[in-house]
Amino acid sequence: MTVNPADSSVLGALYGTPAMRAAMGERAFLQRMLDVEAALARAQSRLGIVPAEAAEAITQAADVERLDLPALAEATRNTGYPVVGLVKQLTALSGREAGRWTHWGATTQDIMDTAVVLQLRQGFALIRGDLLALNGALAMLARRHRGTIMAGRTHLQHALPVTFGYKVAVWLAPLITMVERLDQLRPRVERLQFGGAAGTLASLGTQGIPVQRELARELGLACPDIPWHVARDGFAEAVCFAGILCGLLSKIATDVILLMQTEIAEVNEPHVTGRGGSSTMPQKRNPISCEYIIAQSRGVHALVPQMLAAMAQDQERGTGPWQTEPLAIGQAFNLTHGALTQARFLAEGLVVDPARMLKNLASTGGLIASEQVMMELAPLLGRGEAHHIVNRACDVAIAQGIPLAEALRQEPEIAARVEPAMIARMCNPENYLGSATLFVDQVLASMSR
């Protein structure tokens, strides 16, 4: 029984991914807590604190399939945390002698936080793989359409000519940076949490730091300089990263939705029979992937403030902020991966119509070349006067429904100084791409750096 659609058996096909649910879901969390308890016993056995046989028995017992989940739920309801009930069951499953050594020197938050870190490590790996695949698909699009001319739009109006490859490179460049950000933040997030009751490891005496270091090695995590029970920057950064990534994916989805409009029709989502269809309108091919990129991204963006607010932890153990994090972390990663996989599907099969792009480019009769004309006339007339004359010619072209070149030929100052062939050349948008293709080349080159 679920409430959030991202966790349901039916609507879950639209939100999130099975892989991320498996990584961030409850069963994974319980198993990761058991993994931490078992790793703690093994680390302490190597330091002579826990008998080796006990560590082996605890490791064998640390299997989520052996837990009594209804009993664990009841214990969790009573204590407010799952660790007490989990340790009780692990102790019983390990046997009388070995069970005496479970959870030695640890506190509830050590086990829960480190379990979440292990989940995030798996979640980061999933995101990184699909992000690299998305970037590869976008790079192919940018390369293929490096010189495919189209109308660039500002304020949703024709502005200057660009190329579709340039547009895709604008999408791609920050996503390349996101790979760098991910690789940089992982060591800050994938850190052991082990501090005992108040973060001092007092229960382990002089062996506290050696146990901490050995446990970090056992789990393959970084060992922090000090426990971070109430320093939540790592988890907050992880969810903020998800929020930034979703913002970039939303940009792509928004552009594609606008370019898919019937009146524009320059690109289309990959077509699969029945995908994006309507129950009443057989002609419809709705931008389904884009819609679910945006929907899931907005869900993640709503969770970012929750994680930032949870950083206000009181004293040596928070009384509430910490408990709000589980409501955000797993869902943020699930929705982020859902948006990312939709974006990958979109990029790998995007249908591009260069002929329609040319048709739309020409739809204003050359008005998109007005800056080009102005800049070429500026040395003859002065920039201010050139702007004034071209602006007047644009008004005439719009009012009379004639091409810009014809309106320019009606301007006495231009007709007297500029040959008709030059006017025609100035009004050709293909001559005004600036450094668009070179920018594409630079972004593609950065993929290998």
Q: How far apart are CA 179 and CA 162, in angstroms?
A: 27
Please give the full DSSP string across 27-39, using - where no structure is assigned: HHHHHHHHHHHHH
| Final residue in a domain of this structure, among 358, 384, 407 | 358
Quick check: 259 pLDDT over 90? yes
User: Is residue 441 included in any domain, yes or no?
Assistant: no
Tell me whether residue 376 is in a domain: yes
Is 448 domain-assigned? no
As annotated, the active-site residues are: 278, 317
Residues 374 and 344 in one domain: no
pLDDT grade, residue 84 (50/70/90)? very high
**Is 82 inside any structural domain?**
yes
Residue 449 in any domain: the answer is no
Domains in the chain, number:
2
Cβ(20)–Cβ(123) under 8 Å?
A: yes
Q: At 5, phi and psi to the nearest 5?
A: -55, -30
Q: Is there a single domain that holds both residue 210 and residue 350?
A: yes
The CATH number for 199's domain is 1.20.200.10
Which residue range(s) make up the domain with 323?
Answer: 5-358
| pLDDT at residue 133, rounded to an integer | 97
Same domain, 351 and 389: no
Note the pTM of the prediction, 2 decimals.
0.93
Query: Per-residue confidence at 42, pLDDT binned at 50, 70, 90?
Result: very high
How much is the average pLDDT of 17-29?
96
Q: Are residues 304 and 176 in the same domain?
A: yes
pLDDT computed for residue 279 by the predictor: 53
- CB-CB contact of 171 with 252 (8 Å): yes
Task: Give me 439's structure tokens.
Answer: 């920018």
Measure CA 361 to chain center: 32
Reported confidence tier of residue 48, pLDDT bands at 50, 70, 90: very high
Of 326, 358, 390, the last residue of a domain is: 358
Q: Does residue 69 share a domain with residue 32? A: yes
User: What residues are paired with 9 via a beta bridge?
Assistant: none
* Whether residues 380 and 330 fall in one domain: no
CB 113 within 8 A of CB 310: no
Q: How far apart are CA 287 and CA 257, in angstroms?
A: 6
Q: Are residues 100 and 216 in the same domain?
A: yes
Compute the mean pLDDT over every residue in the chain, rounded to the nearest whole number: 93
Same domain, 344 and 418: no
**Longest Cα pair distance anywhere in the chain, in angstroms?**
104
Same domain (yes/no): 182, 303: yes
Tell me if 432 is assigned to some domain.
Answer: no
If you ran DSSP here, which 8-state letter would residue 280 be given? S
- Cβ-in-10-Å burial (0-12, 13-18, 19+) of 124 comes to buried
Residue 157 lies in a domain: yes
CATH classification of the domain holding 404: 1.10.40.30
Inside any domain, residue 431: no
User: Do 310 and 246 fall within a single domain?
Assistant: yes
417-430 tens-digit pLDDT: 888 888 888 889 99
Q: pLDDT digit string (tens) for 328-344?
A: 999 999 999 999 999 99
Residues 189 and 73 reside in one and the same domain? yes
DSSP-derived 3-state class of residue 321: helix
336 & 380 share domain: no
Tell me what pLDDT residue 282 has: 63
What pLDDT is stored for residue 360 in this prediction?
A: 96
